């Protein structure tokens, strides 16, 4: 099937899944601008070369280091849930391939994205530069701590499941801002949650959908382990 038809078929599948899950998510139809962003960003450039033939399937795919690029429907849902606007500054935790950051970058003014695995962070940074995404800033860091130098954000989007909501991420939201995050223990039931911070600073959480994300991990991996 020609590439542009594969993309349209994927968008149709996302629209159908949005309708089918609308009762839970409160979003039976995603903003067309969100779907347009998914149409524009070449997902086939964000998956390993040997998986390019299934880049336009509505499913997550492995990107190495035990990590995955999220299912396109989930990327669309999380993007829709933050109600992106052209003046927004958004933080993403878990850059992975850089795909979600690229989708966000079409809809908001600036995207900040943190990845804890140095190899993935370096690859995503190089890929986003090569593809010309100029309004995304990447860094290799523990995203559970947010990005204090660039806070506050209009929205924070977390691409890995937390056992508990990292308090720093809530603290770095503007009043009225929203944190979209999968919550739950690894390999147990997770819920995609939308947590909104009101003008009075109080947070209200809504659980939207059962999901399966890789875990949000603590410190960076590598040789800096403590000796006995
Ligand atoms: N948004 C990505 C999907 C990435 S999967 C994409 O579009 O491709 C989740 C990513 O979160 C993984 O790359 C994982 O290494 C990263 N991650 C896990 N814990 C993290 C942490 N504490 N800080 C930053 N990144 C983290």
- Determine whether the shortest distance from the Cβ of 160 to ligand 1 is under 6 A: yes
pLDDT digits (tens, 9 = 90+) for 183-203: 998 777 899 999 999 988 899
Please tell me the residue having the least CA distance from ligand 1 atom 13.
96
Whether residue 191 contacts residue 184, with contact meaning beta carbons closer than 8 Å, is answered with yes
Q: Are 146 and 155 in contact (CB under 8 A)?
A: no
Q: Is the CB of 117 under 6 A from ligand 1?
A: yes
Domain 3-226 has CATH 3.40.50.150: yes
How far is residue 58's CA from residue 94's CA, in Å, rounded to a whole number?
Answer: 20
pLDDT surpassing 70 at residue 161: yes
pLDDT at 228: 40
* pLDDT of res. 220: 59
Asked whether the predicted pLDDT for residue 41 surpasses 60, the reply is yes
Reported as a single tens digit per residue, the pLDDT across 91-108 is: 999 999 999 999 999 999
Please, which contacts does 21-26 make with residues 24 or more away whose CB atoms are closer than 8 Å? 21/77, 21/209, 24/208, 24/209, 25/77, 25/81, 25/208, 25/209, 26/206, 26/208
Check residue 211 and give its pLDDT: 95
- Domain locations in the chain? 3-226
Read off the pLDDT band of 227 (50, 70, 90). Answer: very low
pLDDT of residue 221 exceeding 70: no
- Residue 4: per-residue pLDDT: 96
Residue 122 Cα to ligand 1 midpoint, Å, equals 13
Task: Give residue 69 CA to ligand 1 midpoint distance, Å.
Answer: 9
| CB of 120 sitting under 6 A from ligand 1 | yes
The yes-or-no verdict on residue 10 having pLDDT over 80 is yes
Give the model's pLDDT for residue 222.
54
What integer pLDDT is reported at residue 188 of this predicted model?
Answer: 77
What is the sign of the dihedral through the CA atoms of 84, 89, 93 and 99?
positive
Q: Is the CB of 67 under 6 A from ligand 1?
A: yes
Q: Give one DSSP letter per residue of 122-165, joined into a string.
A: HHHHHHHHHTT-TTEEEEES-GGG--GGG--EEEEEE-SBBSS-
Largest Cα–Cα distance of the chain, in whole Å? 58
Q: Is the pLDDT of residue 83 over 60?
A: yes
């Amino acid at each position: 099937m020609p590439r542009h038809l594969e993309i349209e078929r994927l968008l149709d599948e996302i629209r159908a899944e949005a309708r089918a899950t609308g009762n839970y998510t409160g979003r039976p139809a995603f903003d067309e601008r969100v779907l347009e962003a998914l149409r524009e960003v070449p997902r086939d450039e964000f998956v390993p070369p040997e998986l390019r033939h299934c880049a336009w399937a509505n499913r997550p795919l492995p990107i190495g280091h035990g990590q995955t690029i999220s299912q396109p429907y989930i990327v669309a849902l999380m993007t829709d849930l933050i109600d992106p606007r052209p003046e927004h500054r958004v933080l993403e935790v878990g850059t992975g391939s850089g795909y979600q950051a690229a989708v966000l970058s079409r809809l908001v003014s600036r995207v900040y994205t943190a990845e804890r695995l140095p190899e993935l962070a370096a690859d995503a940074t190089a890929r986003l530069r090569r593809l010309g995404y100029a309004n995304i800033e990447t860094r290799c860091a523990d995203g559970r701590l947010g990005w204090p130098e660039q806070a506050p954000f209009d929205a924070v989007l977390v691409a890995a499941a937390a056992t508990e909501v990292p308090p720093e991420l809530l603290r770095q939201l503007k009043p009225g801002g929203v944190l979209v995050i999968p919550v739950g223990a690894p390999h147990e039931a997770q819920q995609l949650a939308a947590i909104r911070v009101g003008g009075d600073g109080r947070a209200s959480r809504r659980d939207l959908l059962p999901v399966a994300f890789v875990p949000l991990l603590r410190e960076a991996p590598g040789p800096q382990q403590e000796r006995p």
